[in-house]
Structure 1
Amino acid sequence: MKKEVAFNDIIRKVRKDTFGKGPERIHTTFVENMAITRMHGNFTPTEKFIAQSEDGKKMVHSARTHMIKELYKSQVPEGLEELCGSKLIHLFTDIKVEEDMAVSVFMFEKNIEQG
């Protein structure tokens, strides 16, 4: 199994377990010490409903970005560092509510591009 596929499976499972739904489409690219992951189709029907108002959009954006950051800060998902052969040191993540698209940049201690 390719590293990208295994990485995507871990990320999808984390989001599904946290929010009740994982991304419908997910793509990861490894560059030096980073894994850059694009995700489409992230929101649950409830989140889509809430995001119909401006305040709702802000609430969904905040929940999605802050919860994921806190989750990774408290515990790195099982198998992620082993798969990449390096310690995760930072996670940058954002979601564009209108387009239901998220981007996460995982920064590791050392180069994870090979392998």
Structure 2
Amino acid sequence: MSKTIDKFNDVIYKIRKEVLGKDADKLHTVFTEDIVILASNEGLTQVEQCMSATSEDAEMVYLARVKPLQNMYAGDIVEKSRK
């Protein structure tokens, strides 16, 4: 199972690098029957922290950072990467 997790994490690193321009520092992956739980320890970069000074700026960082991740894990980009 460890090899499967390593291969899965490698795919996730590659996709995140392609989509966001950087990958996660560390991933923790757990496979259950039909669900994959993926946890990342990454936080905001120093630039993103500076940009998040106001609530409007924090919303901009959220839209630039979280929304692409949500879309990525929704399946569209993952399916394209398999081709």
Give the TM-score of the pair, scaled to structure 2: 0.70
Give the structure 2 partner of residue 76 of structure 1.
78
| Highest RCO, 1 vs 2 (Cα 8 Å, sep ≥ 6) | 1
Indicate the structure with greater helix content: 2
- Do 1:21 and 1:44's aligned partners in 2 also have CA atoms closer than 8 Å? no
One-letter identity of the residue aligned with 1:26 = L
Contact 1:21/1:42, CA 8 A, preserved across alignment: no
Letter in 1 for 2:32: V
Aligned to 1:64: 65
Secondary structure (helix, strand or coil) at the match of 1:21 reads coil
1:94 match = none
Identity between Structure 1 and Structure 2 (%): 28
Which structure 1 residue ranges, 4+ long, deviate > 6 Å from structure 2? none
* 1:27–1:21 CA distance, 2 compared to 1 (3 A): same
Calculate the aligned-residue CA RMSD, in Å.
2.3
Structure 2 unpaired stretches of 5+ = none
Query: What displacement does 1:43 show?
Result: 4.1
Change in 2 beyond 3 A, CA 1:45/1:20: farther
Q: Which amino acid aligns with 1:30?
A: F
**CA separation in 2, counterparts of 1:74 and 1:52?**
32
2:32 is matched with 31
- Counterparts of 1:52 and 1:16 in 2: how far apart (Å)? 26
